Each structure stands twice: as structure tokens, then as C-alpha cells.
Amino acid sequence: MKWNKPGHEFDELGGKFIKNRKLIVIGDDFDQASFYLNRRITDVLQFLNVPVKLVKFSIKNLQKKWFTKLIIHMLNFKYKLFKQHAVIITHYKYQDVNKAIMLRNILKEIFPNLMVYDSTEFLEKQMSIFAAYVQDKIYVRDTCIIVTTGCTLNCKYCLNFTPFIKHAKSISLEKLKEEADIYFKVVDYVGFFQISGGEPLTYKYLAEYIEWVAEKYSNQIGQILLATNGTLLPDERLANVLKKYGVILLLDNYTQAVPSTKPTRDKLINFLEEHGIDSRDYGENQQFFKFFPANEDYSKLSEKELSERADKCWGLQPWRNLRDGRIYYCNFSSFAVTAGIIQDDPRNYMDLKNFDCSKKKELLEFFMGYSVLGYDTFCTLCNGINESNTLERRPAGEQAKGKFGWHSGMTLSEFEEMNL
Ligand code: SF4
């Protein structure tokens, strides 16, 4: 989205939150905030420092719509829920997310003026606006940091453009610490702090870094996530750190494209189980979008079309990359800079170094998808990563034949021919 009124894009909703600052969570499982957040929802909401009331609503009440409505009327009678100027959040275990949505919809139907959200949408979007307007705090759904561009694989459609990275580089521990210090001075709370690469398990100081971040910023991080391609096993020190700080491993699955990765991946799964380390295991049919190089010349699109396309690339809140003390509009644009595909452009990032706190609402808007351009300069070279990207997808992990140099104007078919 292109900025119209920087610093005021969310004034209307923010104003409503100021008048309705109590939170009521209705649901039947409060122990896990979301699929990627292994924390109680109350712990995540705690940093907002507003009253939170939990109302148990058993899932069996949701089986029949009329019964649900009846129970809601009884709850209203009992708790006077809707006279409390509160924001209502419906919350169920992540497997039952549809139940939360159904309950939200029924509540909206019965009480049209109610501010009601299901927990996923609240944690991904409205909570950022709530935090900024009610508490002058910055809450962000997620941010990713790259510790190394070195990898054990060379995936053709790597989201980090590994085939174009000729000289892989690890970031020094001091620099990574400095990045986090700059970031957490400005950002009060991040839902997921994701550590990625390259393959982060090749990074020599990974255990030390995770331990340092988790100790220093535990009150500002909902969940540390670690993405891995499943080709390496953690050593004992790293395993202890992962367990101690409840890090979730995001376990990519490239076994269809690279069957030789399977034995180690299987060992890794056993290893994680034995050590009590949590993970999210992507299934065998994991796929990569062929989102780069460009399938056609997107620079011909109008500004409006580019902006609309960029808006579709994300769910409720875009993925952000932290690099050089800056937050990038699009993760992939930042990775493209690192791979030497595009030049850094100040319109694609916000600098957090020496951040002017009076610009907090602009930062919130940037995190939520607003920018000077309304899109990223990399959008002209990128097929987009969204449901509207109808390009073929491939089994994740197909390997490129070598390292390539990027030249401007390279098309997807030219890149694929080089890889035949
Ligand atoms: S089109 Fe590509 S560069 Fe643009 S926002 Fe989408 S993923 Fe990012």
C-alpha cells in the first residue's frame, strides 16, 4: 500500500481501540498462542499491560450453530461481556482455527458493533495497531535475521537466491548482537524472531547467539524460530540451547527433490524427539514458488498495479528482514541485495539506527505494508509469492547445476535453460 497519510493510516481503528481497551479471550485452549507460538496467549498479551479476561467456551458448544448462539446469550447475561468496552478474541488450538473463525462470525452476527477478531488475525494484524495506539508500543508479528548465506544445498528456486551467491558469508557474532540491540531498542515485542540462512546450522556461533538473544530479550520475544534444510544435526551444546529456550525448528522437506537428504533428515527428527526439541515438520510435498527470476517484464506495470501485486504477497502482515540495522519492506528484496541482484534502495527499508520515536506510527505502518512506493523495487523482477502467483510450483529443493551471475533482464526460462 502506498502511504497517503504517514503516521495516520490506522487512526480510525486505533481510536476505537483506545475506547475499548480491555481484552476478553473466549475459547477452550489458552496454552498455545498460535501454530508458531508455543506460549500461553495471556503471556503474549501481557506486554500490552491492559486487563485480560479469559472465558472458557467449550468446543462441543460449537458443534451446532443454534446451540452456540444460545450459549453466547447466556455468556452475555453472565459476564455482561458486551457492555465492557472490550475487544473480544476467539481462540482455539491451531488445529481448530476454523472454530475460532466460526465463533467470531457468530458473535459478529449477534452483536454487529462488537470488536471481535479470531486470535490469528488479532496476533498478526490488529494487535500491532492496538499496541501502538493504546500503549505507544511497537509489536511486530515476525522478523527474520540471516546469520550466514552459506548452505549445504544449492536450491534452484531458493528464496534466498543461493545459486546467485558466489561467495557465501557468515555474519560476525558481534554484528548480529549489534543488529538485535538496535532492533529491540525500537521494537517492544516480536511474535516470532526467526533465525535463518543459508543453512543456519553451519554457523559456528549459532548456539552462542541464540543463548545471548534468548537471555537478553526474553521479555520481548514470543518465540524463537530456526529454519533448517534438515541436512545437519545440531551438536550437544546447540541441542541444549534449543531445548532450554524452547526454540522451534522449522524443518524443510527436500526429500522429494533430493532423496539423499532423507536419512539425515530422519535422524534429525529422532534426535529432536530424543532431546525434547519442538519442531514443525513440512510434509513431503513441500513446494517452492518459481517466484524468481521474472517470468515477464513487470516494470511495464503501472505503480498502482505493482502496489496491488505487492499487497497480495503477504498474509495479514508482511515478512520482514533485519539487516544492517534496517527493516526491509520485503524479505526477498533484502535477500536479493545480499545476492547482488539489486542495489540497496532507501525506499525499500526503514532505518532503525538513531530512530526518531515520534515516527513510531510510521514504523508500524511500514511493518503492516505501507511504503513510499507502495511496493518494493524488487517487485519489478519478481513473480510474487502469493496465491495469485499462478506460475508452476516445483518440489522444494530442486538443485541448481552451479553458481550463476545475475544479469539484468534474465528471465525464468533463460535461468531454467542454464540449469537443464
Ligand atoms: S512481488 Fe516479490 S519482491 Fe514484491 S512484495 Fe512480492 S515477494 Fe516481495
Q: Average pLDDT per run of 10 along the chain, which is 420 residues long?
A: 96 96 93 90 93 90 85 84 87 89 92 92 94 96 96 95 94 98 97 96 98 97 97 97 98 95 97 97 88 91 93 76 96 94 96 95 95 95 79 89 90 90
In this structure, the residue with its CA closest to atom 5 of ligand 1 is 310
Protein residue with least CA distance to atom 2, ligand 1: 384
- Asked if 100 contacts 92 with a C-beta cutoff of 8 angstroms, the reply is yes
What's the pLDDT score for residue 408? 85
Residue 83: its pLDDT value, please?
79
Neighbours of 304 (CB within 10 A): 11
Distance of CA 229 to the CA centre of its chain: 18
Atom 1 in ligand 1: which residue has the minimum CA distance?
384
Alpha carbons 240 and 44: distance in angstroms, whole number: 24
Q: What is the predicted pLDDT for the residue at 316? A: 58
Level-2 CATH architecture, domain 11-135: 3-Layer(aba) Sandwich (3.40)
> Which among 47, 396, 150, 31 has a CA at the least distance from the CA of 250?
396
Taking the C-alpha atoms of residue 200 and residue 35, their distance in angstroms, rounded to an integer, is 22
Measure 234 CA to ligand 1 centroid, in angstroms.
Answer: 32
Q: Whose CA is nearest to atom 4 of ligand 1?
A: 379
pLDDT score recorded for residue 388? 64
Q: Which residues line ligand 1 (CB under 6 A)?
A: 309-310, 313, 330, 332-333, 375-376, 378-379, 382, 384-385
Q: What is the pLDDT of residue 235?
A: 97
pLDDT of residue 60: 84
- Phi and psi (nearest 5°) for 228? -145, 150
Write down the pLDDT at residue 287. Answer: 87
Report the nearest atom of ligand 1 relative to the CA of 333.
3
Least Cα distance to 334 among 59, 143, 115, 74 occurs for 143
In whole angstroms, what is the distance from residue 29 CA to residue 59 CA?
9
Q: How far is the CA of 45 from the centre of ligand 1 (A)?
A: 31
**Per the structure block, which three cell numbers stand in for 303?**
505503480
Would you state the pLDDT for residue 133?
97
Cell digits for 86? 472490550
The predicted structure's pLDDT at residue 391 = 77
> Taking the domains of the chain in order of start, what are their residue ranges?
11-135, 139-418
Q: What is the pTM for the complete model shown?
A: 0.94
CATH architecture of 139-418: Alpha-Beta Barrel (3.20)
pLDDT at 64: 82
